[in-house]
Structure 1
């Protein structure tokens, strides 16, 4: 961004053009990663409060 002498802003676009399809694909990848991460966290938290799960984990020798 540069400022001219008349105090007007002049915006110069220096980035390459990205197609809408590329933005959609990248956004879909990011959204699916976030949703799967949130699902795994919620699933893990749900089983942390389940006594049957704790007994299964202890009997199997799995350490969380």
Structure 2
């Protein structure tokens, strides 16, 4: 609990502390979202700039 005092007010931090396990889970979810987003962006850039990959993707019925 953190308490800071000024001349007139007293502030008290009442937020519950997160456990290390919760921080690890939230961090893992955030990291996986970032990595999947980066992968999709790289895949789309490859799709735009490589005609062989472009025709391969379209032959499989996937249209980006």
Regarding TM over 0.5, the answer is yes
Counterpart of 1:53 in structure 2 is: 53
| Consecutive unaligned residues in structure 2, runs of 5 or more | none
Aligned length: 60
- 3-state SS in 2 of match to 1:42: helix
**Residue in structure 2 matched with residue 16 of structure 1 by the alignment:** 16
TM-score, normalised by the number of residues in structure 1? 0.65
> What corresponds to 1:29 in structure 2?
29
Gaps of 5+ in 1: none
TM-score, scaled relative to structure 2: 0.65
Bigger relative contact order, structure 1 or 2 (CA pairs below 8 A, ≥6 apart): 2
> What root-mean-square deviation, in Å, do the aligned CA atoms of Structure 1 and Structure 2 show?
2.7
